[in-house]
Every structure is written in structure tokens, then in C-alpha cells.
Structure 1
Amino acid sequence: MKKGLSLFLAILFLLSIALTGCGGSKETATSNGDQGKSNTNVQSTLVFGRGGDSVSLDPANVTDGESLNVTQNIFDTLVAYKEGNTEIEPALAEKWETSADGLTWTFHLRQGVKFHDGTDFNADAVVFNFNRWMDKKNPYHKGDFPYYGYMFGGYKGDKGHVIKNVVAKDPYTVEIQLNVPQGPFLNNLAMPAFAIASPEAIKKYGEKFGENPVGTGPFVFKQWIRNDKIILDKNPNYWLKGYPLLSQLIFKSIPDNQARFTALQSGDIDMMDGVNPDDVTLAKKNPALQVWLRPSMNVGYLAFNTQKPPFNNVKVRQALNMAVNKQALIDAFYNGLAEPAKNPIPPSLWGYNDAIQDYSYNIEEAKKLLTEAGYPNGFTTDLWYMPVPRPYIPQGKKIAEAIQTEFEKIGVKTNLVTEEWATYLDKTGKGEHTMALFGWTGDNGDPDNFLYVLLDKDNAKAPDAGNISFYKNDKLHEILIKAQRSSDQNERTELYKQAQEIIHNDAPWIPLVHSTPPLVGKKNIVGFNPHPTGTDKFTKVHFE
């Protein structure tokens, strides 16, 4: 009897180990309290592996994807993008209307919504946030608030500032008055940077709000261990009833792509981005994994600092454009999941000028142009590369090395330079680089978000330049402002095509690629649909 009982208990013990091993990543809990259910066999914590840490968790004070990917799950915006595209749908605002002249927008807010600290979301909270963003004299305007300046023509008192005033008409009605009409206004408001934060938390934490974020979103901030992980817990009082489905969401920083993929295979993480080309192939063959492809709405580029010699010479910039074999880069580093770029905006956007002919890959012609520019023997300079994998530049150092080799063929010698991610962003925003690898994933599906933000003179201003080429062209500026203020998409399309011609001729960049970024995760993850903007909400994601 005792022997049989021992054998029975041993079998039970082994079965319990096997079941535990099926539970998921080593960081995860295995209980599922979603909508009152309990199932110990269903994983309820998702660990997302990524290449770098966030800079800050104050969405208004950052522009990098590693920060906004997290804040997107802590905060909500007035309006949001639909799943899979950039069409607008209600979020914290249930409905809205605009005046005939496009100068007054009225938003009717969702009632009964609470911030994570228990305070009320209402019209006063919306007004507080806008005043904080747009007024540099506001006591809570602590930081640079770069996206606000990029998208709304500067700040209060600036000549091109779009927003005149924001007023609470009653507890749940907000009126936004504009100085001039803005075609992409509603799409701009859906960007993660314009999420509504708790006024009381901003007052409480001051400059430390970026380390103590409080929003109304599906997940509540719990803990941030720098360069390791950020832990978010389920918001049990989320206004979208029945969601989120996960009990916990963890963002885990693993800088090396290969190490991150190994962590996925071993179960230490559940999903990852920044996948090496060969690992995409391996993932497709692995029955325990699945691959998602993010719809392409990005550009990877090499920016020349046009304020520094020799990059103030257009012939130098054009010569370097001729010295890079873009297709070879795609073959080596993108596993076919990219196409060569010739314009600053991707072909998936309306307004794309396909009539433009790219600079041909021609070493001899590039040498001739350098000679005409006064550099018959070339020159020596720095080439900055991104220290973390990004969707458009998945392997920064290797891509920089490949470009370095190409430039040597025309006599241009480069020293490779990088910095820690936050420092890289800071120094390029201040213009300390000579030329730098960079990229952009569209935030709102409008060409303005690429052309005005990245190449207009308004945004060629330190310390947080969106236009890190510091390229200034008055004719281009006139066209972009005219397009921005028009509500006629046909007119705007023609203006943006003209803008791309000017940019192509002036060559402040080498547009490199438009990528289709892959993500890999466990086979039992459902409800995840990668968004073209590059930032994802995990509200409806769960395990089956």
C-alpha cells in the first residue's frame, strides 16, 4: 500500500511540474482573474522583449518609440486610431464637431472616467494638460514638450502657433479654438504624445512625473527598474468594460537581438520586436511561435547636419546619396522585409510622389560630384549610429559599417560614433552630430507628420530638433504651411508632391528604406494587431 501511494504521489508531482512548465514566461503569473474567471492553466501576464529602455514615461515629453510604446498603455487620448489604420474613433471624447471655418472644435467627454489615482477625468483636466503643453510660462511646463511644438507650430506666443485657447464650457465639454485651420488637427490629437494625464499627479510629482505616470489607460504603472523592466498592472476600473484581459504587462529590455530571440525561445519573454532577419525565418518554422508584420509606415535615413561643413554643400550630399547601395542593405539586414526609399514619406501614404527618380548607385558619378564640390580626395568625418534596434534600422552598427565601406569607395572616411539611447536622442536633437542614422514611424497617417516635423525649418531648432539635418528652405516652408492649413486633400496632395521634389534636389538626407517590421511571439497569443504607427495598446491581447 505505501509503495503504491508513493508511486502515485510521484506521478502527481511530475504532472504538476509539466503543467507549470506550460504556463509561460518565467516572469509571468499563471492565474487569470479576467471578468471574474479563474483558470490556472491560462497565462495572464505578458512579457514584451525590446531592444532599449524608455527615456521617460511622460508621453508629452518624449518622441521615441521605446517610451511611447509603454505610455500608450498607461494613458488615453481624446480621440484614437482604429485598429490597423489611422482613421479616427472616439476615446476619452465620445463625440465632437467643428465650426464651418475650422477654427473651433468642440469635444464632448466620456463621463465617469477616473485617473489611476482616483481623481476625476473631466474638462478641467483636459484644459490643464493643454495649458501645460503649450505655455512655456506654465509652472508645470517642465521639459521640452517636443511633439507639441512639432505638430502645432510652436508654443503660445510663437508666430506659427496653431492653438489659440482651450476652454472648459461645462464639466464634460471642451472647446479648442485655433488661430488658423489645421488639416491634420484631429489626427494629431490621437497621437500618444497628447494623452491626458492626471493634473493632481503632475502637481504631486513635478519633474518626476515621467517616473510616476498616472493616466486613465488600461494598465496602471507599478514599477520601473532602469535598463531592465517596466511593470504595468491591469486597471480594474478601465472605462472600456471587460478590458484589459491581461492582469499584468511587462516591458523587458534586452539590447541584443539574438539574446532577445533566445529569451523568447526559452520562455523568459512572450513577445519581441527587433528581430534579426535569420530569426524571422526560424520563427516561421517553429510551431510554438508566430510572426506578425507591422504595416509599413516608416522611413530609415541618414541625416546630414547641413549646418556643418562639408554637409552645407549640396553636391557633397548628392554624392553621398549616389554612394549607398540601398538594395544591398535590404538584402543583408532586412530579409526582404523592406524596400528602397527615395522620398522622406513612405509610398503607403497619400501624397507620395512616385514620379521622383532616386539617385542612382554610381561610385564614379559620386566621385565626380565630390571633385566639383572641392573634395577630389574625399574627407574624414563621423558617422553616428543608433545603439538600439529600431523598426527601420534593425542593426544600427552593422548598417553603419556597411555604409562606412561604401563611403570609403569615394574617398570619404568615417569614424563610427554612438551613445546610450537617451544621450543619442539628446545630442542629435542639439545638432552635435555630423551625420547620423535615424528614422521615423508615422504617428498619424498624414504626410505633414513626416515632412513638416522632420524637414521644416520650424523644427530645426535645438535642443530637441525634429529636423536633425537642421535643413532650412523658405520655399519648402511656404508649401508645407499652406498644405497644413488646407482642408482640401487634393490640394494638399499636390503641395506635398512639390515639397518632395525640393527635398530630393537639396538632399538633406539619404532616405534608405521603408521597412515592414516583424514581431515574434508565442503561438497562443491572440488579439494582437500591430499598428502602423508603431505603438500598440495591449487592451484586447490575451492568451488562449
Structure 2
Amino acid sequence: MLQLRMARTRRVALIGLAGALAVSVSACASERDDQGGGGGNEDTLVFGAAGAPKNFDPIFNDDGETFRPIRQMYETLITYKPGSAELEEGLATKWTPSDDGKTWTFELREGVKFHDGTDFNAEAVCFNFDRWYNIEGAAAQSQMIYYGDVFEGFAKNEGDAGGEPVYKSCEAPDPNTAVLHLNRAKGAFPDAFGLTSLSMSSPKALQDYNADEVTQSGDSFSYPAYANEHPTGTGPYKFEKYDKAAGTITLVRNDEYWGEAAKLSRIIFRIIPDETSRKQELISGKIDAYDLPSPADYQALREAGNQVLVRPVFNILYLGINQKNTPELKDARVRKAIEYAINKEQLAKNKLPEGATPRDQFVPKETIGYTDKVEKHQYNPQRAKDLLAEAGVKNLNLKFYVPTEVSRPYMPDPVELGGAIADNLKAVGINVEIVQRPWNGGFKDDVQKAGKQDLHLLGWTGDYGDPGNFIGTFFGREKPEFGFDNPAIFTALSTADSQVDKAAKATEYEKAAVEISKYVPAVPLTSSPPAIVVGGNIQGVVPSPLTDERFAGVTKSQQG
């Protein structure tokens, strides 16, 4: 999903696989049903998950493998239209901001109940927002990644949490109206209200199962019964069990769902860490789907009768530049020379999945704030050499950090991509030492916290359709990843983020994008379309640019 970025690289971090065991499948249909096989059961969708979930409390999570089952059980006030980042009604049927953007009024859907039978209403909405804002303890707040990014602070900032809170209060003038009060306008709204982390939980279940009792021991966190055994939302599926020994998560249809009932009675997520094993299980019919197939496998999967559903592009791969360690990198001419030196067209054509395209800015074309007015630095080795000469730079030596043990649709082989970029830089006289670090074994700490690198390779998949989710996240404040302090850019992004009017916001983000393109704090490289693969007998999966697929409308026919 980071999916990779400085303050929010959590979303792309490789999730823990401890306790996740592939499940052997019996030829007996009843055993397949229990163990998670696909095969002949027309009423169960079996999804091959790459890793184990962290837990099932939306607010404490940030990774795709955990969000996938959560999205089937929970709902948000606003959601996204299938196959796009456009907004549509969720648990709220209407949302209205005040003129100054500091108040949001939600008209709520009537007749909705949580899985425990309690009512979803305005008091429940306020309970959730107040819960998030008031959670105490460094352990809890340091794990509330998306809430912290959007709302910027808590009633009591501790641990990694800090900043002046955006949230002020919530009131429920009647059961069907919730009014959210903010300390200041936030341009991420209303889009960010659709974040999976901001899903609505049952207040009763949160209280009954001690939802806020998160404890920390060193770098490890332990979560209470609500998160592990009793997740309670309003969605079309509800939690049945998580069998850690078998490596399966089972959800069952919510027969009391307020909307159209789910087509299938169950969803089973089988944890299969090895991608080759997931492919083999799909081809053999033991699972029905899995995410992010290797582009090299597309043809074989299709020939075996499966459907490779390519998502709309909503991501970016970039080359980060850290200005802190090497004085020459403080010169914009040197940073521009680095961009001129890189052959983005060849990267997209030879090193990335089919459909990859070069990029000249960090905002996607589909998002407001994209502009053709950015300063472009297209591949031109001679121009790169000239700029280095103008800057008086010779024999520049740079440490280029490249992650290993990670693969993303926009970065399927980081080491190979890093090698191609290093060759481009060497061709214009920049000496590059490639430093490989495992994603969860040094890279994140070295790049995100210590800032040891001169250059680094990262990427990002958008969470929602707002430009602040891209350039605001990357360049809104000084970070070890980039090591620069540019008040003009910080102010431009802050101004854009405070706009309530969509046209005004677009204009301000375009201005910020132009300033960023002139300053070159990092080099936008390419975007690539990710895919999700499903069996030939599966219908109703709509690929989402946000990887926000919902399975309530999925049907499954008997394989021939």
C-alpha cells in the first residue's frame, strides 16, 4: 500500500510472519472448509494472504495484509467508489463542512447495527473520535499511525506522538447527526474520513473487551481481547475466528447487515508467506485469489485460467536525496544533475511491470494539484555533466541505500533498480556506493531515523485522493529522509492543506508542486500498475487504485 515514505513507511513495511503456517489441504470437502481450501466450495472465498495480521482493531494498524480482512468487517463514515479514489456514502449519507472548514456535520445512515446488536448512531461516532483522541500511553499512540498523520496530535502527546491536535470535540445533537469540531481546517478532509484506520467500532465491545489496554515491552506491543478476539464493526462480514496454528482467519456473513447481504457465506484468509506457493495454490484450485502477483507470472497465471486484474496506477517510485551529509547535495544544480542523469523511460520499459510510466512530479495525474507547469528535468546526460561543472563538482562520491527483502508493484526488485540508477549516475561522473540493507533489518532505521544515506530508493501508494497524501507527506516538514529545511515549501504545503475550497486547494498545491520541482528534494522516477489475481470462476472483484477491494459482492461458480 507506502506505500513507502519517511514518517509513514509503516504501511509498506514487511509484516510479521511469526506463527503463519501454510495449511495442508485434504481432498475431503469438509476438511477443505475447515482448513481453508478453495476447491469445490462455492460459498467460500479463500484468499491467499502474504502474512499474518497484526490485530483486528483498525486504529492500531497500517499494513495491507491486516487491512484486507478489516475492510470486510468494518465501515467508515465515507468510503470510496469501487475502482476509484472518488468518495461515496458510507455510514454517513451526507457530510457538510462549515465555511471555515473547522466543523463537519455528518448525516448518518439509519437502521445500522454493530455486529453485537448495538445501534450505530451519532453517540457511537463521537465515542470513536473521542476514544482515538484521548488514548493514553506511548505504546498506543505510537501505533496510531494514520490517526497521528491526519489529526497530528492527541489530548496527551506521548512517545512518538506530538503536535497541536486538529481534533477538538464531537457532539451528537440527535441520533442521526454527528458534528465534528476541529481546531483548524484540514485539507485532507473529507477524503481522509474514508481511511480504514478511521473505521467505526462498537462502543460496547470496545469497553467490554478493554480495547485501549495496549502494552509495550521494548519494541514489541501486546493488544487486548478486542483487537485479537472480538473485533466488532458494522460491515457485511463479521469475525468468527483466527486460528494462528493453522494460519487461517475466518469471517462469516453478517445476516443483519443494513445493506445488500454478502453473496458468499464465508471468507477464509490463508496465510501463505511464499509467493511461489501462493501461485501454485491458486493454479491448483486450493485458494481463490492473492494479491500482488509477480509481473513475471502474469502470463502463466492467465494461461492456467486465472484473471489478473490490473489496478489503476496510484503510486510512485522515487530517488530520495539527503542533503545533510554531503555538502555538494545542498546545491540545487547538483540535485538537478542527478535527475537529468537518470533514464526514467528505460527504467519503466526494462525494469518495471508492463504499463509502468516515467514521472516528472509526485502528484498523480488523477489528483488535484497535478500541473504541467512543474520544472522538468528529462534524461539528458550532457546537461547533467554541464550542471555539475557549473557547480564545480568533480568526483562526487555518494552512498546509495537500497532496500532488500521487500518487493512492491512499483519496486519489484529494488536491487536491480538501484543498479540501473547507479549506472546512469556513474555515466555522468557521479561515483555511487550501493549500500544494501534489509527493509526490516537496518534500512528503515538508517534512512528514516539516522539519515545515514546520501541517496535512497523508496516509493509510495496513495491512501486517498488528496495531493497532501503525496507531497504533503513527503515534504511538509524537515525529515531525516531528505535532510533539508525549506520554509517556502513547508509554508506552501501548509497553506494548501488549510484550504477548504477545492479549487483554491488545487491552485495552492500546484504552486507547491512547482516549487518542489525547482528545488528537487527528491527525484520522481516512475509509477507502475499493481495487480490482484483471482480464479477464473470468481466474479465481482473490482481492482482498486487504493488496494481497497471489498468482497461482499463477490460470487463464485463451480470450477469445470
Q: Give TM-score, length-normalised by structure 1.
A: 0.81
1:440 corresponds in structure 2 to 460
Q: CA RMSD in A?
A: 3.5
1:187 corresponds in structure 2 to 191
2:471 corresponds in structure 1 to 451
1:178 alignment partner, one of 182, 191, 194: 182
Residue 511 of structure 2 is aligned to residue 498 of structure 1: yes
1:338 alignment partner, one of 356, 361, 371: 356
Higher Cα radius of gyration: 1
Structure 1's 385 and 299: CA in aligned 2 closer, same or farther, altered over 3 A?
A: same
- Offset, 1:115: 3.5
Greater CA drift, 525-534 or 409-418:
409-418
1:84 corresponds in structure 2 to 83
Could you say what secondary structure the match of 1:189 adopts? helix
Q: What's the CA shift string for 1:108-146, capped at 9, x where partnerless?
A: 333454434555433333223222333464799443422
Residue 294 of structure 2 is aligned to residue 293 of structure 1: no
8 Å CA contact 2:404, 2:436 repeated in 1: no
Q: What's the CA shift string for 1:232-291, capped at 9, x where partnerless?
A: 3433433324225241231534344x45433322334322332333322333444x1112
Greater CA drift, 51-60 or 144-153:
51-60
Distance in 1 between residues matched to 2:346 and 2:84, nearest whole Å: 30
Distance in 1 between residues matched to 2:189 and 2:487, nearest whole Å: 23
2:407 alignment partner, one of 377, 384, 389: 389
- Offset, 1:379: 1.9
Could you say what secondary structure the match of 1:262 adopts? helix
Greater CA drift, 75-84 or 233-242:
233-242
- Offset, 1:196: 1.6
8 Å CA contact 1:283, 1:291 repeated in 2: yes
Distance in 1 between residues matched to 2:520 and 2:128, nearest whole Å: 38
- Offset, 1:195: 1.0
Q: Give TM-score, length-normalised by structure 2.
A: 0.79
- Offset, 1:357: 4.6
8 Å CA contact 1:229, 1:253 repeated in 2: no
2:114 corresponds in structure 1 to 115
Structure 2 letter corresponding to 1:293: V
Q: Which runs of 5+ in 2 are unaligned?
A: 1-25, 157-161, 215-222
Greater CA drift, 294-303 or 388-397:
388-397
Distance in 2 between residues matched to 1:267 and 1:477, nearest whole Å: 52
Residue 536 of structure 2 is aligned to residue 517 of structure 1: no
Q: What's the CA shift string for 1:309-345, capped at 9, x where partnerless?
A: 3655544433332333222222223343111011111
Distance in 2 between residues matched to 1:492 and 1:282, nearest whole Å: 45
8 Å CA contact 2:400, 2:432 repeated in 1: no
Greater CA drift, 180-189 or 341-350:
180-189
8 Å CA contact 1:255, 1:388 repeated in 2: no
Greater CA drift, 144-153 or 521-530:
144-153
Structure 1's 122 and 91: CA in aligned 2 closer, same or farther, altered over 3 A?
A: same
8 Å CA contact 1:290, 1:522 repeated in 2: yes
Structure 1's 100 and 346: CA in aligned 2 closer, same or farther, altered over 3 A?
A: closer
1:243 corresponds in structure 2 to 262
1:28 corresponds in structure 2 to 37
8 Å CA contact 1:50, 1:272 repeated in 2: yes
Percent identity between matched residues is 33
1:320 corresponds in structure 2 to 338
Distance in 1 between residues matched to 2:52 and 2:450, nearest whole Å: 23
1:133 corresponds in structure 2 to 132
Structure 2 letter corresponding to 1:505: K
The within-5 A match list for 1:218-229 is: 218-221=236-239, 222-223=241-242, 225=244
Q: What's the CA shift string for 1:342-378, capped at 9, x where partnerless?
A: 1111112232112335323344544555566676223
Distance in 1 between residues matched to 2:272 and 2:401, nearest whole Å: 26
Structure 1's 262 and 159: CA in aligned 2 closer, same or farther, altered over 3 A?
A: closer
Distance in 1 between residues matched to 2:326 and 2:443, nearest whole Å: 21
Residue 379 of structure 2 is aligned to residue 361 of structure 1: yes
Structure 2 letter corresponding to 1:509: A
Could you say what secondary structure the match of 2:338 adopts? helix
Distance in 2 between residues matched to 1:255 and 1:426, nearest whole Å: 25
Distance in 1 between residues matched to 2:186 and 2:551, nearest whole Å: 31
Distance in 2 between residues matched to 1:239 and 1:524, nearest whole Å: 28
Residue 555 of structure 2 is aligned to residue 542 of structure 1: yes
Distance in 1 between residues matched to 2:554 and 2:526, nearest whole Å: 30
Residue 425 of structure 2 is aligned to residue 416 of structure 1: no
2:220 corresponds in structure 1 to none
Structure 1's 419 and 487: CA in aligned 2 closer, same or farther, altered over 3 A?
A: closer
Structure 1's 536 and 378: CA in aligned 2 closer, same or farther, altered over 3 A?
A: same
Distance in 1 between residues matched to 2:138 and 2:172, nearest whole Å: 20
Could you say what secondary structure the match of 2:142 adopts? coil
Greater CA drift, 341-350 or 363-372:
363-372
Distance in 2 between residues matched to 1:374 and 1:253, nearest whole Å: 53
Could you say what secondary structure the match of 2:552 adopts? coil
Could you say what secondary structure the match of 2:125 adopts? helix
- Offset, 1:56: 4.9
- Offset, 1:26: 8.1
2:105 corresponds in structure 1 to 106
Structure 1's 427 and 75: CA in aligned 2 closer, same or farther, altered over 3 A?
A: farther
1:4 corresponds in structure 2 to none
Structure 1's 289 and 492: CA in aligned 2 closer, same or farther, altered over 3 A?
A: same
Could you say what secondary structure the match of 2:48 adopts? strand
Greater CA drift, 521-530 or 381-390:
381-390
Q: Which runs of 5+ in 1 are unaligned?
A: 1-16, 31-40, 463-467
- Offset, 1:525: 0.8
Distance in 2 between residues matched to 1:20 and 1:143, nearest whole Å: 44
1:378 corresponds in structure 2 to 396
Distance in 2 between residues matched to 1:522 and 1:486, nearest whole Å: 45
Structure 2 letter corresponding to 1:272: Y
1:531 corresponds in structure 2 to 544
Structure 1's 505 and 120: CA in aligned 2 closer, same or farther, altered over 3 A?
A: same
Distance in 2 between residues matched to 1:45 and 1:427, nearest whole Å: 44
The within-5 A match list for 1:43-82 is: 43-82=42-81
Could you say what secondary structure the match of 2:283 adopts? helix
2:6 corresponds in structure 1 to none
Structure 2 letter corresponding to 1:536: E
8 Å CA contact 1:74, 1:217 repeated in 2: yes
Aligned length: 507
The within-5 A match list for 1:461-476 is: 468-469=481-482, 471-476=484-489
Distance in 1 between residues matched to 2:388 and 2:52, nearest whole Å: 40
